[in-house]
Each structure stands twice: as structure tokens, then as C-alpha cells.
């Protein structure tokens, strides 16, 4: 194992890419939900892509986990198929470099690994916690009611502030910083005065592609797709639900489809809002659903680090309504690839749906521009960014 010097940088010595061994660590890889379907996050999907790409480029790369369901068909999910399961207490496999993305994983790697550690940021967590403190994004779990609600909300705010301090202490470690989007690169560079590498997320055009024969609004219904867990505050799902509620109240014939990695919330189950609810779809199943949708809506808040579903929807040729947050507006310098709305304004989402329903030319414009923008977010670009980071680490420059 290669030691790092006092600055945390890797000592020189490994110069040939084929001889550099890289490890990615995620405490939990892929599990099964109560229905026996595979369950994993978008962050796991990105890590899996990296491992597969690096192996293809000649770097010996492994994915190490403490917890995963065995005997899953990972190939069918388009995930890395050979994770190494290391029991708690076991030493990690010998590598020259380790990459962590979840905060607890990064801290564990930094404390226990003798080589350099890359902190791959897929979303800056303090933004989400600050939105909870201000009340901008309070999930059902933290909606306090009753006589002691004020005291409980105060205790929550104290806990969130403590959580932020802990998170910032992990980002302040002398790890090598990398992030999946430009605005995160800028944010980390300014906040922690450390260089941050861009490893841009990409989508597979062989999986996410448009259906040129798709007829918009077949059978007189508009199929509207929303992706993300209601239980994750920065996804802003309540705003989309409120917009759909208003549309159905106006008598508009809408087929509203929700996809999540978690079970439907009470609001999604109890009201006649969601027509179809899917959990933990495989990547190709998700791609088919995009191609059979008329509109995609994401009402995410600023805590969204990248927004892979939005990029997948654009690549699949789905006219999209997106919020004016840093991750989305930075997809392209021109904001002409989607209908943009402010955060927390369901009435503007309604306005966008009605506008796109009545304007076929605008729908076609967003469709074509979305496809073109997505071509700048390919897996080949991700590979180039990974290669650039690895080469600089080999040269000892970061």
C-alpha cells in the first residue's frame, strides 16, 4: 500500500496506470425492498459507473462494501457486478487510492487508510440541513404538531446545526476533492479553499434515447412523470403534488406517474393524485418509462447536487419543467432546453403544464434542445474527467 506524505498527498512511485489499484468504498451497495426488488440510490449508480469505466481504461479497480444482498442480478441493473464484501473489522483490500462519496465512508477512509482519499461530492449536504432549519424543506418526519411542537422544532434546529458542523469538519479534511457538477466544484473550492476536480455525471445514450415516433398526449391524456422520494426534502416533491392537485381540480385529464426508491407517503396514497406508483425500477425500465411520458417535472430545491433523472429525461426527449436551481441552470448556458420555474411555486408548474399542452412548437423546441444538451453529458466525458484526476494524482500535483 502506498503511504501518503504529511500533506495528505500520495508519494510518488506508481507511474503506470495499469499498476495503480483504485478502491471505491460504500458501506451499503444494493439491498432488496420488501417486495424483493433491488434497492439502491443514484449515488451508488454513479460509483458503479466509475468502477466499470476505470477497469475499462486499464486501472485495477474494486468496489468494497460492508453490506449488500448477494445473488442479485447486478448486470440486469447495469451495475458493477463484482463488489468485494468486507466484514466490519476486516482490513480493506490493498489499494493505492480510495474514493468515498457518502460522508461516513469518507471519514472512515481518512481515519483508517494510509493512502490518499478522494472525497467525491454528489451533493453538498449542509444546504439540505439549512433548508430544514429555515423551514423551506421539512419532511413529514420533522413536521412537529401539538403542545410541545415549538420545543421539538427548536431541538431539531439545534440537532441540524450540530450535524452541519460535523459535515463541514469532514469536508475540511485534506482529502482530494471531486464533484459531479460545476456549481459544486465552485462551491467547494470557495468554501474550503481547496482545488476541486470535476467528474461530470453522464448518461448512457444506448439506454436513454428518444422515441421519435412517440405521439404526445395519446388518448387525450397527458402522462406526467415525477421521480424521487417524497421523504427527501430537497427533491421538492410536495410542490409537484400540489400542482397536480390543482390541475385535476380544474378537470384536466392527467395521468400522473411517480417513481421512488421508497414507499409512497401518506399523501401519495390517501389522495387521488398519483395514478401509478413505481418503486426501484431498473435502469432500462426507467428509460422505457421516460420514452412513454409526455412531460417530466422536477421541483427540486437547491440541495440537489446534480439531478440525474432530469438529465435522463432530457436525453430521452421528454419536454421538461425544471426549477431554477444551480444544478439545472448549469446544464447549459442557454436556458432554452426546459421550461424553468421558481422553487416552491406550484402555480408556476401548473402554468408550465398548461403552456406546453397548448404549444406544440414549444414542446418540440424543448425536446430537441434537451436532447442536444444531454449530448454534453456522456459517459465518455465522465471517463475523460476520471482520467484527468488520476493522471494528476500520479504526478503528485493536487
- Let me know whether 253 and 339 are in one domain: yes
Please state, in angstroms and rounded to a whole number, the distance separating the CA atoms of residues 259 and 301: 18
- Let me know whether 282 and 307 are in one domain: yes
pLDDT in tens, 359-374: 999 999 999 999 999 9
- Let me know whether 252 and 277 are in one domain: yes
Residues with Cβ within 8 Å of residue 307, at least 6 apart in sequence? 298, 300, 322, 327, 328
User: Could you tell me if residue 86 is inside a domain?
Assistant: yes
Question: Phi first, then psi: what are they for 201, rounded to 5°?
Answer: -65, 150
- Let me know whether 39 and 130 are in one domain: yes
Task: Give the SS3 label for residue 210.
Answer: coil
- Let me know whether 263 and 196 are in one domain: no
- Let me know whether 56 and 145 are in one domain: yes
User: Could you tell me if residue 26 is inside a domain?
Assistant: yes
Q: Which residues of the chain carry a pLDDT beneath 70?
A: 1-19, 138-148, 397-398
pLDDT the model gives residue 18? 53
User: Could you tell me if residue 248 is inside a domain?
Assistant: yes
- Let me know whether 359 and 256 are in one domain: yes
User: Could you tell me if residue 162 is inside a domain?
Assistant: yes
- Let me know whether 197 and 281 are in one domain: no
Task: Give the SS3 label for residue 329.
Answer: helix
- pTM of the model as a whole: 0.89
- Let me know whether 311 and 331 are in one domain: yes
For residue 142, the domain's CATH number is 3.40.50.2000
Please state, in angstroms and rounded to a whole number, the distance separating the CA atoms of residues 315 and 369: 10
Pairing of strands 31-32, 38-39: antiparallel
User: Could you tell me if residue 328 is inside a domain?
Assistant: yes
User: Could you tell me if residue 209 is inside a domain?
Assistant: no
pLDDT the model gives residue 316? 98
Please state, in angstroms and rounded to a whole number, the distance separating the CA atoms of residues 294 and 22: 42
Nearest Cα residue to 179 out of 54, 333, 326, 55: 326
User: Could you tell me if residue 242 is inside a domain?
Assistant: yes
User: Could you tell me if residue 208 is inside a domain?
Assistant: no
- Let me know whether 223 and 167 are in one domain: no
- Let me know whether 140 and 278 are in one domain: no
- Let me know whether 268 and 353 are in one domain: yes
pLDDT the model gives residue 397? 58
pLDDT the model gives residue 88? 80
pLDDT the model gives residue 14? 39
pLDDT the model gives residue 138? 64
pLDDT the model gives residue 15? 42
pLDDT in tens, 304-357: 999 999 999 999 999 999 999 999 999 999 999 999 999 999 999 999 999 999
Give the count of domains, the chain: 2
Nearest Cα residue to 247 out of 279, 221, 227: 221
The strand pairing partners of 121, in sequence order, are 179
Containing structural domain, residue 337: 218-374
Amino acid at each position: 500500500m502506498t503511504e501518503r506524505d504529511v500533506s495528505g498527498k500520495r508519494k510518488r512511485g506508481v507511474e503506470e496506470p495499469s499498476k495503480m489499484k483504485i478502491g471505491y468504498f460504500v458501506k451499503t451497495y444494493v439491498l432488496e425492498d420488501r417486495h424483493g426488488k433491488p434497492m439502491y440510490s443514484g449515488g451508488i449508480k454513479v460509483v458503479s459507473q466509475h468502477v466499470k469505466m476505470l477497469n475499462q481504461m486499464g486501472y485495477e479497480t474494486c468496489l468494497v462494501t460492508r453490506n449488500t444482498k448477494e445473488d442479485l442480478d447486478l448486470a440486469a441493473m447495469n451495475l458493477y457486478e463484482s463488489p468485494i464484501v468486507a466484514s466490519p473489522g476486516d482490513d480493506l483490500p490493498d489499494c493505492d487510492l480510495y474514493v468515498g462519496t457518502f460522508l461516513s465512508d469518507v471519514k472512515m477512509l481518512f481515519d483508517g487508510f494510509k493512502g490518499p482519499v478522494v472525497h467525491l461530492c454528489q451533493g453538498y449536504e449542509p444546504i439540505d440541513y439549512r433548508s430544514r432549519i429555515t423551514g423551506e424543506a421539512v419532511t413529514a418526519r420533522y413536521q412537529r404538531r401539538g403542545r410541545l411542537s415549538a420545543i421539538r422544532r427548536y431541538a431539531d434546529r439545534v440537532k441540524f446545526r450540530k450535524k452541519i458542523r460535523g459535515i463541514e469538519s469532514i469536508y475540511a479534511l485534506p482529502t482530494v476533492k471531486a464533484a459531479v457538477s460545476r456549481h459544486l466544484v465552485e462551491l467547494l473550492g470557495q468554501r474550503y479553499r481547496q482545488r476541486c476536480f470535476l467528474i461530470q455525471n453522464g448518461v448512457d445514450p444506448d439506454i436513454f434515447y428518444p422515441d421519435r415516433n412517440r405521439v404526445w398526449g395519446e388518448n387525450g391524456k397527458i402522462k406526467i412523470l415525477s421521480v424521487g422520494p417524497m421523504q427527501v426534502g430537497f427533491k421538492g416533491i410536495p410542490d409537484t403534488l400540489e400542482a397536480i392537485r390543482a390541475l385535476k381540480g380544474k378537470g384536466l385529464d392527467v395521468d400522473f406517474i411517480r417513481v421512488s426508491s421508497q414507499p409512497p407517503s401518506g399523501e401519495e396514497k390517501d389522495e387521488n393524485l398519483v395514478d401509478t406508483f413505481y418503486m426501484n425500477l431498473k435502469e432500462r425500465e426507467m428509460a422505457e418509462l421516460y420514452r412513454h411520458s409526455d412531460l417530466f417535472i422536477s421541483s427540486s430545491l437547491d440541495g440537489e447536487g446534480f439531478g440525474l433523472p432530469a438529465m435522463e429525461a432530457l436525453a430521452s426527449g421528454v419536454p421538461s419543467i425544471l426549477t431554477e436551481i444551480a444544478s439545472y441552470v448549469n446544464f447549459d448556458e442557454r436556458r432554452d432546453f426546459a421550461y424553468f420555474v421558481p422553487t416552491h411555486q406550484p402555480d408556476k408548474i401548473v402554468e408550465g403544464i398548461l403552456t406546453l399542452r397548448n404549444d406544440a412548437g414549444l414542446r418540440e423546441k424543448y425536446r430537441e434542445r434537451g436532447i442536444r444538451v444531454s449530448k454534453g453529458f456522456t459517459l465518455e466525458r465522465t471517463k475523460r474527467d476520471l482520467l484527468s484526476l488520476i493522471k494528476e494524482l500520479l504526478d503528485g500535483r493536487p
